[in-house]
Amino acid sequence: MNTLSILFALPLIVIFSYLFDTIARKTKFPAVILLMFTGILIRTVTAASGYNDFEFLEDLIPVLGTIGLILIVLEGAFELEISLEKLPLILKGFLAAFFILIANIWLLQWLFGFLFQMETNEAVLYAIPLSIISSAVAIPSASSLLNQEREFVIYESTFSDILGIMIFNYALRQFESQEPLVGSAPLINLGFQIIGVIIISVLITYMLFRLLQKIDHQVKFFLILALLILVYALGKLFHLPALVTIFIFGIFLGNVKNLLPRFLKNSLDLEKTEKGLREFHVLTAESTFIVRTFFFLFFGFSIQLINFNSFSPLIYGLIIFITMLLFRYLYFTVTTLKIKPSPIVYMSPRGLISILLFIQLKEVSYINTIQVPIDERVLLIVILSSMLIMLLGTMKKQKKEELVVTESKDDNESIPFDMPIEPQNLSQNENNNP
């Protein structure tokens, strides 16, 4: 592919992604599905043309996914409003993310062992990516929900991302060192590690915030993003949950007035600070859009339809997704004491993080990914199923609201035939005349 072809392709991809995003806002159809199908279509066309040299994708997709993960968590943390009034909702979102994630991992681990006779270590590592909700898909799709439901989806999906990655790295470290997954010593060690990371994260957040205040150069936001990526890479090197740092930094920037100490408020120009943070938020959102566009497009591009030569991936994927959906329905039925499902039951899409962790599993030495029946085809079925169910749930919610609005308008506009119509807007002279 020559330079001119690339110059045509890159802007067209961004334009189509923008159109897909616009369609998604109006129809609630996830834009990432359209991006993946576009990638599959392009791969089919290029393969038919005889061009099949795409080894660069093996290195490019994980890099794009990791940067996208950092940006998505940062953007999601920006959206979280921290206040005393929001604490009950935040706690509900955290508990839902934690218990549903743990239960899904346990259920899928048992299912993989029962159906495929997989060892416990392999079953757990394959269950974790499939159990994590994608905030990159859930948050934009929740825009049509009520405010409280939308905020709950933001909290739950963001916590699911962070907890899922932390559990995955913890399980990977325990299995590599041949230590038990559940035990008092490793869990206490993990707890102290998280507390230490939180303290370090607060210090890093303070340093980055002060740096953001003092930089006068017109290019400063990309410097902050570069430092955040560097912090994440260092955490990854030392097997630390560095995503917590990104999360805390995003929460702090999104809640400066609520979280900033009083002595700092007096020494800072908060109006100027908020203006700069709004600009940083816009930059983060647009960067996330670009990275997400190319990640899902390249992921679709890496899929070859010729590999779908049996119904087994479809059956496995549907069994996995239905198992998780049933438990999710059970959880919200018990916690809300309502049998009728709420729209948030459907808001559990899988996406970027699931793909990223699946790719990371290929680097695990003691897992033979060729013989494991849970592969990228099954992952794709789970992703598509979760997004389509989410689409049906939001469409059902939207139609129900439109019906209520229509009935309300009809009730207001209808006038009984036997009601006398009183004269209005009589002039002063008409009132005075007999």
Q: What is the DSSP string of 118-141?
A: --HHHHHHHHHHHH---HHHHHHH
pLDDT at position 421, please?
42
Q: Tell whether the model's pLDDT for residue 325 goes beyond 90.
A: yes
pLDDT at position 396, please?
63
- Widest Cα–Cα separation across the chain: 103
Check if the beta carbon of residue 398 is closer than 8 Å to that of residue 37.
no
DSSP state of 303: -
Q: Tell whether the model's pLDDT for residue 317 goes beyond 70.
A: yes
Q: What's the whole-number mean pLDDT along residues 403-422?
A: 47
Q: Tell whether the model's pLDDT for residue 269 goes beyond 70.
A: no
How confident is residue 425, by pLDDT bands cut at 50, 70 and 90? Answer: very low
More confident call, 372 vs 412: 372
How confident is residue 267, by pLDDT bands cut at 50, 70 and 90? Answer: low
DSSP state of 52: -
- What lies within 8 Å, CB to CB, of 39 at 6+ separation is 296, 297, 298, 299, 300, 301, 302, 303
How confident is residue 253, by pLDDT bands cut at 50, 70 and 90? Answer: confident
For 292, half-sphere exposure in the C-beta direction (CA atoms, 13 angstrom radius) is 30
Q: Tell whether the model's pLDDT for residue 29 goes beyond 80.
A: no
Q: How far apart are CA 232 and CA 240, in angstroms?
A: 9
DSSP state of 310: S
Q: Tell whether the model's pLDDT for residue 320 goes beyond 90.
A: yes
Check if the beta carbon of residue 374 is closer than 8 Å to that of residue 112.
yes
pLDDT at position 366, please?
75
pLDDT at position 420, please?
44
Q: Tell whether the model's pLDDT for residue 410 goes beyond 70.
A: no
Burial of 177: CB neighbours in 10 Å, binned 0-12, 13-18, 19+: exposed
How confident is residue 110, by pLDDT bands cut at 50, 70 and 90? Answer: very high
Signed CA dihedral, 189, 65, 380, 24: sign only = positive
More confident call, 118 vs 240: 118
Q: Which of 111, 121, 262 is nearest to 180 (CA)?
A: 121
Residue 130: other Cβ atoms inside 10 A? 26
pLDDT at position 276, please?
72
Q: How far apart are CA 281 and CA 275, in angstroms?
A: 10
Q: Is the pTM of this model over 0.75?
A: yes
Q: How far apart are CA 220 and CA 286, in angstroms?
A: 16
Tell me the range of 16-30, 87-101, 328-342 where mean pLDDT is highest. 87-101
Q: How far apart are CA 271 and CA 290, in angstroms?
A: 29
Q: How far apart are CA 353 and CA 154, in angstroms?
A: 16
Q: Which of 383, 314, 298, 400 is nearest to 349 (CA)?
A: 383
How confident is residue 411, by pLDDT bands cut at 50, 70 and 90? Answer: low
Q: Which CATH number fits domain 3-192+282-410: 1.20.1530.20, 3.10.129.10, 3.90.650.10, 1.10.486.10?
A: 1.20.1530.20
Q: Tell whether the model's pLDDT for residue 245 goes beyond 60.
A: yes
